[in-house]
Amino acid sequence: MTIPPLPDLILDPIVRLAITEDLGQAGDITSDICIPKHARATAQLIAREEGRIAGLDAAALALRLIDPEAHLQIHIADGQDAPAGASIATLQGSARSLLTAERTMLNFVGHLSGIATLANDFVNAIAGTGAHIVCTRKTTPGLRALEKRAVRLGGALNHRFNLADAILIKDNHIVAAGGIGAALTRARAAIGHLTAIEIEVDNLGQLAEALPFGPTAVLLDNMSDSELRQAVAMVANHTGPNRILTEASGGVNLTSVRGIAKTGVNYVSAGAITHSAKRMDVALDFE
């Protein structure tokens, strides 16, 4: 899957922070001491296990910031699958520069490829059901834009990027607002025509209470598959002026997700895609 790289305006401060963190106050003293200044090197970015690649835009910028003259040739692009042992990219340049950039590059590619791979596993698990997998805001602070892009590279979709993207009324909002009706009434009165309203419901009684207000979507939280099927039927039978979308959430994993998707919900949200993805094993090997 081809997804455009993040604009440098977004990517640059994230990568600069990672490099600054790694360089510390004195830079890469090991490479500066042990490696001759004019030594050149060629290295391969290797996938030690199969997976969906992501994070090469961040890795390429990290190398460019360390050494604008270093060269990176990509063989397996973001959004493509790498078999175990494959060369993802070839790096050429100052040996010191490649060694200095190595860990930052691997951190981005390993972490983000792990997310893309897990996202793709979820997508494959529900193939043919008609449902879509979406991620959540359970992301690593500071890395949300990169992680959300990795989710898309894995073939899944993004939920909200931030609190300003849409109105999502959750259980604590309902309590603080004084109930489902009060929260939805205020939301409908305040928003423009392009702002979506989603409300979380924990049971079928709450769903019945929310439907007359015509939210854009209902978040069916921690319901059993049987309850989800009933909820989907209730939404389908609702006679309001707008179509209401259904989203299932809560404890979603690769074992449970297909059963959830087969209940007829439109979307299944899985926080695990970003908060529990296993880092893909990627290495930088000098020739």
Return the H-helix or E-strand segment holding 18. helix 8-23
Q: Which of 40, 170, 188, 278 is catalytic?
A: 170
Query: Which entry of 103, 160, 258, 262 is annotated as an active-site residue?
Result: 103
Q: Is 257 helix (H, G, I), strand (E, B) or coil?
A: helix
> From the candidates 28, 102, 221, 247, which is the catalytic residue?
221
137 is catalytic: no
> How far are the Cα atoms of 56, 116, 155 from residue 82, in angstroms, in the given order?
13, 12, 15
Out of 28, 57, 198, 200, pick the active-site residue. 200
The catalytic residue among 138, 160, 258, 279 is: 138
SS3 content of the chain, % helix, strand, coil (to 5): 45, 20, 40
Active-site residue flag, 221: yes
* Contact of 236 with 203, CB cutoff 8 Å: no
103 among known catalytic residues: yes
Interhelix angle 8-23/144-153, rounded to 10 degrees, is 120
Q: Which residues pair with 168 in a beta bridge?
A: 198
Alpha helices in 24-162, H assignment, sequence order: 29-34, 56-66, 95-125, 144-153
Looking at the annotation, which residues are catalytic?
Answer: 103, 138, 170, 200, 221
